[in-house]
Structure 1
């Protein structure tokens, strides 16, 4: 979709659907924005009257649609969106509302939309939220539906964002629009990867997608196969993949700053789970639990989507690496078995008590490999446990880690990006659940505290490096349409990773340069060294 910004005033803005977001209390009285007053006047006061009669008050999730009957220029219809209480406003509310507007436009077969950006003290965040909401909201995955392929009806192609009165176009707002569009396009790309059937997105196909993403974003891509995995002694990764006829892939993407000084900084490491189909292995899942297991690579899709934005738009003053081990978990005569003992790259031995706890095995080897690159921090994303869904539901990510500063930075980034996360404990009191009589540890413990047990397992492979584990099992897949979400893949985590990198880049940019040693003192030190 094409986006443009125009300076905001009460003049008409081109678009078949005019969208006016309102806070509670703005429908009536003197607090109404000029855009509403203008539209209401053109409709002889019928807009406010009809909205009031229908119970629209500007509350969150409320909307009201009316036909203009040709009285408002090119605006065939007006859509009012509720934003709730102004004092409690967060951009995510607007992002969700913009998503609803995009879906309304699609149902109306509108090709253009005019969006009145609400006045707040966070202009850049608001512009970005509108762009992301609209672009995410138009997303559809219907390529395998015959009716969709034959549908020639008009599509939403353009959006004009009218800035509020007193807000002029600026480089910062243009940058916010560009970033928001790139983030949303990349998230939609990740949604496509997750929504594709498992016979299409195999480990090989995922690696090809990673290579293409790297090419587009100016990243370095290294792809390895079974021989490379064997050479790296990734015994846990190999154990999971031996039951499948599909060849595994080792994926390593690298963003390196062009500035030589920045390139020498410690990298940030991102690790994504990439089980392209999880049958449970010999610990076979029931049919209903297997249907959506094509989504077990959602963590890797989010990491790849984030890398696309990091390399093409954010371009931080430090390296960023992505590590992904892609494979299937299948039952066969060659599959790994309960009772097997696998040796990790780190040298730890692991007794297999449940072959359906496979994601942590692959991640363990990936975390060890990532740690060998001496990163400043490691963030992993994984659809790891149903237990996390039991605890937090379908829309909240579980965050684990014992380095408070790193965990808080991820939570702050998530809040800014509009993705809800909640920190869960990672207590050593649970470690007994992973104790093995025959190996260093088991891959699966008791039922209770399952999400914590999985996080504790991963912790064994990160050493002293600051690390955060994000369990996205619930939010990776929406059970219904909501705001800019459709039923299906969400791209959960990608926006947070982009925001985390952006915030780290800002922190580095605002750090004072270390003072250089006085010339005389430096000369004395050099002379002393020479003696």
Structure 2
């Protein structure tokens, strides 16, 4: 999608669709300039018709009207933003997503978007561009020839942005649009990985996607096979992988600053769960629960998507991504309930449920990531149905006991427009993982299931500041909503990018990027591909 800025009134700009976001009450006596400029040539019929149809500017409301040749645009789309007092950029992002979907339905190629007058215009621009790009996303790779007409229909390719109140475009505005496009494109790329069928995106293809992304972005990518995983003594990872004919892959993506001092700073470690299909293993899932289990690698997709943007942002510290990719399948070679697995850390784990597999792979990969002496570890995982029960389909569960790091991630999520809620990591639940024959069990009682999973991961973190993001609900949208369509959402990409941007800004303002300590030697090896 191509974006450009226009000067003057939005209603006078060329475009098939004129989009005007409105707050509640702005259809009254003192409409904003964008609405007044469009309504005057229509002799007041726009506001009158919208009012008659019940449009009041509430969230999720939309109204479309044909201009009958009285404006440059063929149609006008009014978008409700709700109460101005409750406005956040995410409200505008969702509204822009609705605009993109309306443009698709109307087969519009060009649009003019009147950016609303808000306090933070830069954030509004980012939200607008991200919403339009994300809202226009469609996964149609496997549509048959019978659907060709719909696939080849005109699509929104050009958007002209009209700043409010005659504001002049600045370099910061250009940068906001460029960043928003980069983030949205990476999120859509992650969505593609999640939406692909499991016979296409298996561990090998996920590793190939990481390598292709790395080559395009100038990142170092190494991929280890089963022998490398065995060499690293990742017994939990191997246990999960042993039931599938598809070989597991250990993926390591590295961004390193060119500045020698900055390259010595401790890295940010991003860990993504990558079970490319989860049948539940011998603890087999019911059919209905298994249908969407191709999406059990959404954490790794988000991490890789974020690395695409990080490669372009070039923060003043290293950023590493660590991913253990495999399938969890039932077969004669599958790991079993009652097995005891030995982790890379040396801890032993009694298996009580083979469907609690993600934490096993993550435990070994987090241990390996920790050996690279990171400043912080953030993992993303579609880990527990219990988190969906607690928080629903649109809120990420955040865990961690290092308050400053958790708060930084939560603040990054708020800025990015991804809603997260902190849940406890409490020792009160630790008895649920106690084993009679090993150091711990991989699954405890039903109650507090999301906390139990986080407690399991905590055993492999050591003293490193760590945040666990359980994205089991928001990784897939059950319906269309704003810029979301049914299917993979790419949740986490925006938050991780914002976290890295925030950390870079903090380091640069403090001068810490120029005072890098020498790295400590690592006990673990790196995967070789």
The residue number in structure 2 matching 1:525 is none
Shift of 1:118: 0.6
Q: 8 Å contact 1:7–1:165 — kept in the other structure? A: no
The residue number in structure 2 matching 1:469 is 468
SS in 2 for 1:422: strand
Matching of residue 270 in structure 1 with residue 258 in structure 2: no
Question: For residues 78-125 of structure 1, what are the alpha-carbon distances to aligned partners after superposition, in whole Å with 9 as ceiling and x for unaligned?
Answer: 000111111221000000000000000000001111100011121111
CA distance 1:117–1:449, change in 2 (3 Å) = same
CA distance 1:371–1:21, change in 2 (3 Å) = same
Question: 2: distance between equivalents of 1:16 and 1:133?
Answer: 19
SS in 1 for 2:412: helix
Shift of 1:210: 0.4
Q: 8 Å contact 1:256–1:320 — kept in the other structure? A: yes
Equivalences for 1:88-237 in 2 at 5 Å? 88-146=86-144, 147-151=146-150, 152-237=152-237
CA distance 1:362–1:174, change in 2 (3 Å) = same
Question: 2: distance between equivalents of 1:109 and 1:84?
Answer: 27
Q: 8 Å contact 2:253–2:322 — kept in the other structure? A: yes
Q: 8 Å contact 2:265–2:513 — kept in the other structure? A: no
Q: 8 Å contact 1:253–1:323 — kept in the other structure? A: yes
The residue number in structure 1 matching 2:501 is 502
Equivalences for 1:62-77 in 2 at 5 Å? 62-73=61-72, 75-77=73-75
Equivalences for 1:373-384 in 2 at 5 Å? 373-384=372-383
Matching of residue 47 in structure 1 with residue 46 in structure 2: yes
Equivalences for 1:327-338 in 2 at 5 Å? 327-338=326-337
Shift of 1:148: 3.4
Q: 8 Å contact 2:412–2:498 — kept in the other structure? A: yes
Larger radius of gyration: 1
CA distance 1:177–1:8, change in 2 (3 Å) = farther
The residue number in structure 2 matching 1:261 is 261
Question: 2: distance between equivalents of 1:134 and 1:491?
Answer: 15
SS in 1 for 2:388: helix
Question: 2: distance between equivalents of 1:198 and 1:28?
Answer: 53
Question: For residues 268-315 of structure 1, what are the alpha-carbon distances to aligned partners after superposition, in whole Å with 9 as ceiling and x for unaligned?
Answer: 000000000000000000111100000000000000000000002x21
SS in 2 for 1:25: coil
CA distance 1:398–1:370, change in 2 (3 Å) = same
Question: For residues 470-523 of structure 1, what are the alpha-carbon distances to aligned partners after superposition, in whole Å with 9 as ceiling and x for unaligned?
Answer: 00000000000000000110001111000000000111121157999xxxxxxx
**Which is worse superposed, 234-243 or 51-60?**
51-60
Q: 8 Å contact 1:142–1:148 — kept in the other structure? A: no
SS in 2 for 1:42: coil
Q: 8 Å contact 2:507–2:513 — kept in the other structure? A: no
The residue number in structure 1 matching 2:410 is 411
Shift of 1:6: 2.2
CA distance 1:368–1:436, change in 2 (3 Å) = same
Q: 8 Å contact 1:267–1:374 — kept in the other structure? A: yes
Q: 8 Å contact 1:346–1:461 — kept in the other structure? A: yes
The residue number in structure 1 matching 2:489 is 490
Shift of 1:166: 3.8
The residue number in structure 2 matching 1:300 is 300
Q: 8 Å contact 1:397–1:422 — kept in the other structure? A: yes
Shift of 1:464: 0.5
Extract unaligned runs of 5+ from structure 1: 517-531
SS in 1 for 2:164: coil
The residue number in structure 2 matching 1:38 is 37
Give me the TM-score of the superposition, normalised by structure 2.
Answer: 0.95
**Which is worse superposed, 17-26 or 148-157?**
148-157
SS in 2 for 1:502: helix
Superposed structure 1 runs of 4+ greater than 4 Å apart: 512-516
Give me the TM-score of the superposition, normalised by structure 1.
Answer: 0.95
Shift of 1:49: 0.5
Question: 2: distance between equivalents of 1:513 and 1:356?
Answer: 44
Question: For residues 344-375 of structure 1, what are the alpha-carbon distances to aligned partners after superposition, in whole Å with 9 as ceiling and x for unaligned?
Answer: 00000000000000000000001000100111
Equivalences for 1:427-442 in 2 at 5 Å? 427-442=426-441
